[in-house]
Amino acid sequence: MHITHSLRQMLMALLFGIYAINATAQEHDIMVVANLDNHTVKLDKIDIRNLFMGNASDVVLEPVSLPPQTLARAVFNTKIIGLTESRIQSYWSQMRFSGRSRPPREISTVDELISYVSSHKDTVAFVPASARIPAHLTVIYSTAKM
Amino acid sequence: MNANFNHKLTAAVFCSCLLVSSAALASSEKLEISGFGRVVAGFTDDPDVSFEGYENELSLKEQTLLALQVDYHLLENVSITSQLLAHTNSERDSGVEWLYVSYIPHNNWLVKGGRMRTPFYHYSDVIDVGFAYPWISPPQQRYSAFLFNQYEGASVIHNFALENLSGSVEGYYGSFNGDTQFQDRRDATDIDGLSGFVFSGVYNANLRFRASYTTADFSVNLAEISAFADQLRSVGFVASADSLAMEGEFDIYQVGLALDELDYNLAWEWMKIESDTVLAPNIESYYVQGGLVFQPFTVHLTYADMATNPQSAATDIPLGLTADLDQLFYAYQTVFARTQAADLESVTLGVRWDAGVRVAFKAEVTHYRGALGISTFEALGDRDAFDERVNLYQLGMEFVF
């Protein structure tokens, strides 16, 4: 009985551990979701980088972002953009004050962001991989293994 | 801060209050207000010369500035942008730096008309936005010699995407009538037929490149020199007089590459200025820069070099005939020598600390080697005392909002 109890505790600890690892992995992964008519669209990292850095791209979508200092944005900067937040800010100051382009609109929470994308056609945003997204949105990219 | 700056600042703040109150009237979607500023302190270790206004005592006024940008969206694809600047440097105009209308006829096209910044080099249209680049003073060899920073005209930009390349082509045409600045002097300048194109893009998401060509007819009125040239012309020394005329055509070629990664960056930029005018030297210059990122710090090292192609003085004033002519000969030789540009070499070591999302502090030291010249060092006293080596120390705070 005592052994069974210990075993159960160990098993629980192990399961919780796996769950925790998964949760951390999910926190450090993001997915890029878009409001599109064509649900089969998949983009690569360069397309997404171009969309969020204001460069010309084959796909025309309005990017929407979370504010700096959010975990999902830090993950997106590191895994997709490949630049630090400071470098991105300095890039946008060059684009804005030379009249070339403006940074993406920022929405403060993940829920508001998802709701904005849900209600605006041809918009695109990155959200934590663990976020629940409405069925009519398309996941066009994910840093997690799908 | 001097009274002049306070005055300009008050005007800027007043404007911003007006704009902010009009913002309350307009919908926030239509009006965007942003801005940037910098506070820069610097000094050189050489009492014999001044360099870009810096001398051997701490000065805050050379580059400190505040700017407001207002974007008003008239229609979905038409907007008006204005940028108001207040400088502490009395050699620079404060006021409306930009005022243009932009129109987006199609997603990949942008048409602008009005007063804009001249896009000579990678950072020349954001030269006042220190937050946009790593240095406090970008390599001088590239950014301030010979140039005016505004023009009035039109620009058309087309963006395109091809496989892993995302690029844009810009063509522009315009003119400039105002002052250009060499050291602490301001000279009335007319630029006509200014035209150019810029090809820029990003390959594989992190390698940026830029190539541009600019040409224009220019005429700079160097007051004292023009008066002397007129005197020479009146006594028949036309070749000598012509050699002191600052007018003609110039062509500027530029190529640049920059690689940005999470933990390091590399940049290289080269340019060449060609002109058929004796007083405007042909200049070839470049810099290479490397930075290492230790978030939130970036340490960078830059080597820059500017080579000028010396022009020959005219030889139509005879020497040894009469005392008067000898005096004219030497006067001409002295004036000619003082209008020549000199080569300049520099090494800059700097650090940028991104203390917040929109504020950065910088510190840098630049070692310069170069002679006295119109785009380099200006003698403060005895011209022979200068050993052609200067260290410039600077501290700065950059912000955007």
Model confidence pLDDT, tens digit, residues A30-77: 999 999 998 888 899 999 999 999 998 888 899 999 999 899 999 999
pLDDT in tens, B134-179: 999 998 655 554 567 789 999 999 999 988 899 999 999 999 998 8
| pLDDT surpasses 90 at B268 | yes
Q: Which of B21-30, B107-116, B305-314 has the highest mean pLDDT?
A: B107-116
Q: Is A46 on the interface with B (CB under 8 A)?
A: yes
Q: Which chain A residues contact residue B125 at CB under 8 A?
A: 98-99
Q: Which chain B residues contact residue A82 at CB under 8 A?
A: 205-206, 260-262
Which of the 8 DSSP states describes residue B125?
Answer: G
Residue with more model confidence, A139 or A25: A139
Which of the 8 DSSP states describes residue A67?
Answer: P
Domain that holds residue A100: 2-145
ipTM value: 0.86
* Cross-chain CB nearest to B357 (options A58, A68, A98): A68
Mutate to test the interface with A, among B260, B264, B353 (most CBs of A within 10 A): B260
Q: Which chain B residues contact residue A89 at CB under 8 A?
A: 131, 354, 357-358, 400
Nearest to B51 by CA among B281, B375, B283: B375
Dig out the tokens for B191 from the structure: 């630029």
Q: How far away is chain B from the Cα of A15, in angstroms, using its nearest Cα? A: 35
| pLDDT for the residue A130 | 92
Residue with more model confidence, A25 or B107: B107
| pLDDT for the residue B327 | 92
CATH of the domain at A110: 3.40.190.10
Written as one letter, the residue type at A11 is L
| pLDDT surpasses 50 at A1 | no
| pLDDT for the residue B308 | 87
| pLDDT for the residue B373 | 79
Dig out the tokens for B296 from the structure: 């939130």
Neighbours of B67 (CB within 10 A): 22
Q: How many domains does chain A have?
A: 1
Q: Which chain B residues contact residue A99 at CB under 8 A?
A: 81, 98, 100, 102, 112, 116, 125
C-alpha to C-alpha distance for B66 and B130, rounded to whole angstroms? 11
| pLDDT surpasses 50 at B391 | yes
Hey, are the CB atoms on B205 and A45 less than 8 Å from each other?
yes
| pLDDT for the residue B221 | 82
| pLDDT for the residue B395 | 98
* Cross-chain CB nearest to A84 (options B83, B201, B295): B295
Q: How far away is chain A from the Cα of B132, in angstroms, using its nearest Cα? A: 4
| pLDDT for the residue B146 | 56
pLDDT in tens, B278-294: 777 788 999 999 999 99
Q: Which residues pair with B298 in a beta bridge?
A: B293, B352
Name which of A113-117, A122-126, B80-84, B185-189 the model is least confident about.
B185-189
Dig out the tokens for B324 from the structure: 């008067």
Q: What are φ and ψ of residue B224, in 5° steps? A: -65, -40
Minimum Cα–Cα distance from A49: chain B residue: B205
Hey, are the CB atoms on B400 and A89 less than 8 Å from each other?
yes
C-alpha to C-alpha distance for B93 and B189, rounded to whole angstroms? 14
Hey, are the CB atoms on A98 and B126 less than 8 Å from each other?
yes
Q: Which residues pair with B166 in a beta bridge?
A: B161, B202
pLDDT in tens, B4-45: 444 444 444 444 444 444 544 445 679 999 999 999 999 999
